[in-house]
């Protein structure tokens, strides 16, 4: 649409130090802006999965629990994710869905709090809904009260009755980034524990779990970590809490000696305590393979490119789309922006359908939100300009 923005895109792509990462993924000419829902396939993963299925399962069979490292995969892969979220080793374990990990984390945090006079679990009322549903269940089972409220209202609501606050780092709908350091500090100031959901930040920007003293955290691995559809989630329990962490799902994999198969439960030490049952090896080892794309990548450079991409997308949209046809729900301030842009518009379902037909894949959040996720490892500035141009064409038609 515009010579100058297309030229600018080309210049930005030429200067992009992460541009080479795109070739690590199985991508075609589609502009794929849905990596905040399902990350693209890293090109080497099919061969690795084939080896897991054909050789490890098919030929070694039961021996693979030891010989192929299946048994220790949850903590080994946790340690691969740890540096991406600013965690030292031994604090992250992979397995189960995000929802199940939210349950472990919230019940675990209530028990770590241990103070019966602290009756309240605060939860981000605008959060991805599963967190609220699961937190409600955790509150019900632990005799606490769930208090849903906007993240901006959390600091004022914190007090001597607060046991735990469960917050999202980035809002799944708007892409708003919440201030993890200051909110965590405020929660601690009130004597409560902070549980963070990192689904929309891990792999897109630095999190700094250890630096900011987060107590527990969870996240999925199929968005910016490209682990594959429904790949297992992870649980972070800060080292200082591990010996007191009391999981509500003490499956045999969290036992100190699982193969002793004793009737009495004695929990393992460390991150392993967050495990539950037998890990889903195919999904888990696909994730492990997918994490290879992070070798040598700095999460700070990912963040810098992410902001440049979303800035440029907003610039292109502003330039190409006639005023008033779309409204950005994503904060313009970098400090409040994740790695997606959310635009509201009329007839959003039809607009997204037409965009997809033109090879620009984002997604829809009912009723009127178009979401465009920017995965810095495989989205370029040219893609970004083409997406904005296609959006303008669809809206003009």
Q: Which of 32, 103, 128, 172 is catalytic?
A: 128
List the one residue from 59, 323, 324, 397 that touches a second copy (CB under 8 A): 59
Residue 98, marked binder: yes
Binding of residue 99 to a second copy (CB under 8 A): yes
3-state helix, strand, coil in the chain (%, to 5): 45, 15, 40
Binding pattern for the stretch 179-218 against a second copy, x by CB under 8 A and - elsewhere: ----------------------------------------
Binding of residue 129 to a second copy (CB under 8 A): yes
Q: Active-site residue 48, yes or no?
A: no
What DSSP designation does 171 have?
Answer: -
d(CA 389, CA 397): 12
Residues 103-122 that bind a second copy (CB under 8 A): 103, 107
d(CA 36, CA 323): 27
Residue 107 Cβ vs a second copy, minimum distance, rounded to whole Å? 8
List the one residue from 46, 159, 160, 181 that touches a second copy (CB under 8 A): 46
Binding of residue 80 to a second copy (CB under 8 A): no
Torsional sign, CA 191, 195, 201, 203:
positive
Closer CB to a second copy, residue 80 or residue 212? Answer: 80
Compute how many residues bind a second copy; rule: CB under 8 A. Answer: 80
d(CA 360, CA 380): 13
Binding of residue 277 to a second copy (CB under 8 A): yes
Q: Active-site residue 128, yes or no?
A: yes
Residues 300-339 that bind a second copy (CB under 8 A): none
Binding of residue 65 to a second copy (CB under 8 A): yes
Q: Judged by CB under 8 A, which stretch of 4-12, 35-43, 319-327, 335-343 contacts a second copy?
A: 35-43
Residue 200, marked binder: yes
Measuring CA to CA, how many Å separate 258 from each of 13, 75, 277, 281?
Answer: 51, 15, 10, 18
- Length reported for the chain: 397
Residue 129, marked binder: yes
Binding pattern for the stretch 372-391 against a second copy, x by CB under 8 A and - elsewhere: --------------------
Concatenating the DSSP letter of every residue in 241-289 gives GTTT---S---GGGBSSGGG--SS--BPSGGGGG--SS--HHHHHHHHH
Closer CB to a second copy, residue 187 or residue 289? Answer: 289
Q: Active-site residue 223, yes or no?
A: yes
Sheet holding 145-149, edge to edge: 92-94, 234-237, 216-219, 193-197, 162-168, 120-124, 145-149
d(CA 380, CA 374): 9
List the one residue from 15, 83, 114, 125 that touches a second copy (CB under 8 A): 125
- CA 39-148-132 angle, to 5 degrees, is 40
Residue 172, marked binder: no
Binding of residue 70 to a second copy (CB under 8 A): yes
Q: Active-site residue 371, yes or no?
A: yes
Q: Judged by CB under 8 A, which stretch of 174-182, 185-193, 235-243, 283-291 contacts a second copy?
A: 283-291
What DSSP designation does 125 have?
Answer: T
Q: Active-site residue 197, yes or no?
A: yes
Residue 173 Cβ vs a second copy, minimum distance, rounded to whole Å? 8
Residue 376, marked binder: no
Q: Which residue, 35, 42, 39, is CA-closest to 387?
A: 35
Binding of residue 136 to a second copy (CB under 8 A): yes
Phi-psi region of 76 (alpha: psi -120 to 50; beta: other; left: phi over 0): alpha
Q: Judged by CB under 8 A, which stretch of 8-16, 161-169, 243-251, 346-354 contacts a second copy?
A: 243-251
Nearest 10 degrees: Cα torsion 338, 344, 349, 350: -120
Residue 185 Cβ vs a second copy, minimum distance, rounded to whole Å? 27
Beta-bridged to residue 166, according to DSSP, are 123, 195
Q: Which of 103, 371, 374, 378 is catalytic?
A: 371
Residue 132 Cβ vs a second copy, minimum distance, rounded to whole Å? 6
Which of the residues are catalytic? 128, 197, 222-223, 371
């Amino acid at each position: 649409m515009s010579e100058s923005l297309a030229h600018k895109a080309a210049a930005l792509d030429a200067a992009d130090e992460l541009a080479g990462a795109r070739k690590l993924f199985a991508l075609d000419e589609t502009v794929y802006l849905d990596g905040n829902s399902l990350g693209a396939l890293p090109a080497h993963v099919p061969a690795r999965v084939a080896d897991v299925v054909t050789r490890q399962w098919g030929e070694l069979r039961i021996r693979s629990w030891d010989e192929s490292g299946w048994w220790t995969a949850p903590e080994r892969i946790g340690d691969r994710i740890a540096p991406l979220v600013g965690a030292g080793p031994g604090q992250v374990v992979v397995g189960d869905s995000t929802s199940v990990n939210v349950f472990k984390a919230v019940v675990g945090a209530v028990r770590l709090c241990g103070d019966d006079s602290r009756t309240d679990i605060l939860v981000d009322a605008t959060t991805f809904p599963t967190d609220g549903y699961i937190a409600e269940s955790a509150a019900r089972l632990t005799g606490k009260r769930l208090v849903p409220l906007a993240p901006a209202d959390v600091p004022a609501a914190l007090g001597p009755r607060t046991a735990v606050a469960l917050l999202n780092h980035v809002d799944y709908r708007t892409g708003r980034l919440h201030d993890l350091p200051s909110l965590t500090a405020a929660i601690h100031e009130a004597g409560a524990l902070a549980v963070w959901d990192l689904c929309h930040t891990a792999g897109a920007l630095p999190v700094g779990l250890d630096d900011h003293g987060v107590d527990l955290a969870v996240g999925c691995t199929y968005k910016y970590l490209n682990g594959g559809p429904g790949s297992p989630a992870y649980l972070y329990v800060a080292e200082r809490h591990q010996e007191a962490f009391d999981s509500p799902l003490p499956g045999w994999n969290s036992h100190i000696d699982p193969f002793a198969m004793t009737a009495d439960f004695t929990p393992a030490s460390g991150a392993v305590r967050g495990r539950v049952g037998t890990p889903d090896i195919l999904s888990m080892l696909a994730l492990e393979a997918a994490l290879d794309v992070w070798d040598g990548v700095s999460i700070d450079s990912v963040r810098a490119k992410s902001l440049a991409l979303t800035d440029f997308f907003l610039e292109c949209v502003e330039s190409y789309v006639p005023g008033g046809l779309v409204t950005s729900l994503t904060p313009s301030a970098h400090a409040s922006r994740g790695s997606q842009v959310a635009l509201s518009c009329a007839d959003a379902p039809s607009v997204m359908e037409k965009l997809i037909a033109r090879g620009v894949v984002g997604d829809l959040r009912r009723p009127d939100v178009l979401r465009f996720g920017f995965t810095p490892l495989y989205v370029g500035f040219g893609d970004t300009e083409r997406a904005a141009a296609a959006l303008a064409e669809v809206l003009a038609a």
